Chains A and B, each alone.
Chain A
């Protein structure tokens, strides 16, 4: 009888916990919303997200109206970072390759390995995951980012603490470093590890943008002397060289803080750089859009605030002269997915409300395919949503 009473109690507990969200709480234990999405050249939308110890892959041939069954990328479960700016990433190659990265947290706090798996048969099968970097210390290798260049080379960048460890505790090495590795054989192997810059912030996503000459631009939150967490730009080359590392934003956010709120970067046909970022700097606080100058001493043009005081996690995409910024903003009841649209390269804008949800949600993403721009958003209540930004 005691067993039966306990069993009934546990069943009721399980039921009550599962229904707790109806009493004004989203069940925190079950929410795994962090997702990344990308279109391939044929217009198939691919999404990776985390489920327990697996990166799960799903695809949609109709721009998000219907989805394939979820498929595990890694057959053997392992730890997968999916909090804040951390999440699995996906990029599509030029010859039907599907590339996936994630950060595997290790046992020491803030430590991790950058993991990679590829499919060279359009997602039917995936390789056994490998660790991208040659440095195997149990330290920070986190916040993976990946992109594929026009000539098919795969660039993976991440936040790395080997230089801070090597400097020793007395050295007061600020922040971490950005490292990268390149594969010129469709992800079969990587040449690395190359350092892009010392003194990055420790916990923000890195934005990457392939360029016509085969190099890749990166935009990341940096730590400028003495502790200013504004952004830096730099160019990574396939041979491991680095060029044009410079300051990109000038907000003077002097603080030792963990924002988990990284930038995004896109280029228009004229080569102008468009960016969105978050700051609580002395000069301005909030989410901002601007065009980043590549020449001279740098600087920001067409600077503009994005949304209101609760705006967060903006992303942007560019198609021709059209620039679209998407972000989410909590209004006291619901999180709203909003968009800011410019048809003249960021000089003038109009705003639109796209969606709203009354539960937990992921960061939104702006995607492009065939000249159209889409907002992708994963919410607890609605699941994957894909909204085309109408012309």
Chain B
């Protein structure tokens, strides 16, 4: 009886953590990567209700993305209250490359995610119907969640100007 109960408990733990384990593989990762799917942006909009946030997509296969990592690090350290959600569009199979990439080009203390659905069109469409997967691609949501879209490598001056606009709206 006790044994049966133990098995059930263990298995319910396994099922409960399934989305995370399936998304990132069974090995203990160096960096926690949350699974990003077609429902994730709606969840983020709720959790950041009334506050601005940045949703930034990148890949280990994207060269201009490399140069953005230091920008996110610097922006996050200068503006710790700004939520930056950094999403890898890679597959879980690319996990080792992602860890190596972060070791070399650390993006700092931003929230990190990875696509958890191989049906990538479904995930992209949930964010932006006209996004064909080009990278880097960043979405800047203001406090009312009106969005400004930036394609390609982003420069620090533009991020600071967007942040200044958010600050002036607050006043």
A residues with a Cβ closer than 8 A to B are 1, 5-6, 8-9, 12-13, 16-17, 20, 24-31, 83-84, 86, 109-110, 202-203, 255-261, 278, 280, 285-286, 309-310, 312-313, 328, 330, 332, 335, 359-361, 380
Find chain B residues with CB under 8 A from A280 CB: 134, 151
Query: Nearest Cβ in chain B — how far from A109, in angstroms?
Result: 7
Cross-interface CB contact of B121 among A25, A256, A330, cutoff 8 Å: A330
Give the interface segment out of B60-68, B77-85, B161-169.
B60-68
A-B interface, 8 closest residue pairs, ranked by CB to CB distance from nearest: A255-B152, A257-B152, A26-B118, A330-B121, A256-B153, A258-B62, A28-B118, A31-B118
Query: Which of B113-143 touch A at CB < 8 Å?
Result: 115-122, 124-125, 129-130, 132-136
Any A CB within 8 A of the CB of B158: no
Cross-interface CB contact of A380 among B10, B116, B118, cutoff 8 Å: B118
Asked whether, in the complex, the Cβ of A257 is within 8 Å of the Cβ of B3, the reply is no
Query: Nearest Cβ in chain B — how far from A81, in angstroms?
Result: 9
Question: In the bound complex, what is the Cα–Cα distance between A195 and B62 (angstroms)?
Answer: 24
Asked whether, in the complex, the Cβ of B61 is within 8 Å of the Cβ of A258, the reply is yes
Asked whether, in the complex, the Cβ of B15 is within 8 Å of the Cβ of A16, the reply is yes
Asked whether, in the complex, the Cβ of A31 is within 8 Å of the Cβ of B91, the reply is yes
Task: Pull 11 A–B residue pairs with CB atoms less than 8 Å apart, ordered by A.
Answer: A5-B6, A13-B21, A17-B21, A25-B22, A26-B118, A28-B23, A203-B63, A310-B129, A312-B132, A312-B133, A380-B119
Convert B55-76 into 0s and 1s, putting 1 for each residue whose CB lies closer than 8 angstroms to a CB of A.
Answer: 0000111111110000000000
Cross-interface CB contact of B11 among A12, A286, A332, cutoff 8 Å: A12
Asked whether, in the complex, the Cβ of A258 is within 8 Å of the Cβ of B6, the reply is no
Find chain B residues with CB under 8 A from A360 CB: 118-120
Can you name the residue of chain A whose Cβ is closest to the Cβ of B6?
A: A5
Known: A31-B91, A259-B134, A335-B121. A309 touches B11 (CB 8 A): no
Asked whether, in the complex, the Cβ of A25 is within 8 Å of the Cβ of B116, the reply is yes
Interface size on B, residues (CB 8 A): 52
Asked whether, in the complex, the Cβ of A310 is within 8 Å of the Cβ of B122, the reply is no
Question: In the bound complex, what is the Cα–Cα distance between A17 and B116 (angstroms)?
Answer: 12
Asked whether, in the complex, the Cβ of A25 is within 8 Å of the Cβ of B63, the reply is no
Any A CB within 8 A of the CB of B14: yes
Question: In the bound complex, what is the Cα–Cα distance between A5 and B19 (angstroms)?
Answer: 20
| A28-B115, A257-B64 given; 18 more Cβ-contact pairs under 8 Å | A5-B6, A9-B11, A17-B18, A27-B118, A28-B92, A28-B117, A29-B92, A83-B61, A84-B133, A110-B61, A255-B151, A258-B59, A258-B62, A258-B134, A278-B132, A280-B151, A312-B121, A330-B122
Asked whether, in the complex, the Cβ of A109 is within 8 Å of the Cβ of B116, the reply is no
Find chain A residues with CB under 8 A from B92 CB: 28-29
Cross-interface CB contact of A257 among B21, B121, B134, cutoff 8 Å: B134
Find chain A residues with CB under 8 A from B135 CB: 257-258, 260
Find chain B residues with CB under 8 A from A84 CB: 61, 133
Query: Nearest Cβ in chain A — how far from B129, in angstroms?
Result: 6
Asked whether, in the complex, the Cβ of B132 is within 8 Å of the Cβ of A257, the reply is no
Find chain A residues with CB under 8 A from B63 CB: 110, 202-203, 258
Find chain B residues with CB under 8 A from A359 CB: 118-119
Cross-interface CB contact of B66 among A26, A31, A109, A332, cutoff 8 Å: A109
Question: In the bound complex, what is the Cα–Cα distance between A8 and B15 (angstroms)?
Answer: 12
Cross-interface CB contact of B130 among A5, A26, A309, cutoff 8 Å: A309
Question: In the bound complex, what is the Cα–Cα distance between A20 and B60 (angstroms)?
Answer: 25
Convert B3-32 into 0s and 1s, putting 1 for each residue whose CB lies closer than 8 angstroms to a CB of A.
Answer: 100110011001100110111011000000
Known: A84-B133, A310-B125. A257 touches B118 (CB 8 A): no
Can you name the residue of chain B whose Cβ is closest to the Cβ of A312?
A: B132
Can you name the residue of chain A whose Cβ is closest to the Cβ of B126?
A: A332
Asked whether, in the complex, the Cβ of A28 is within 8 Å of the Cβ of B116, the reply is yes
Find chain B residues with CB under 8 A from A6 CB: 10
Asked whether, in the complex, the Cβ of B101 is within 8 Å of the Cβ of A109, the reply is yes
Find chain A residues with CB under 8 A from B60 CB: 109
Find chain A residues with CB under 8 A from B91 CB: 28-29, 31, 83
Question: In the bound complex, what is the Cα–Cα distance between A29 and B93 (angstroms)?
Answer: 6
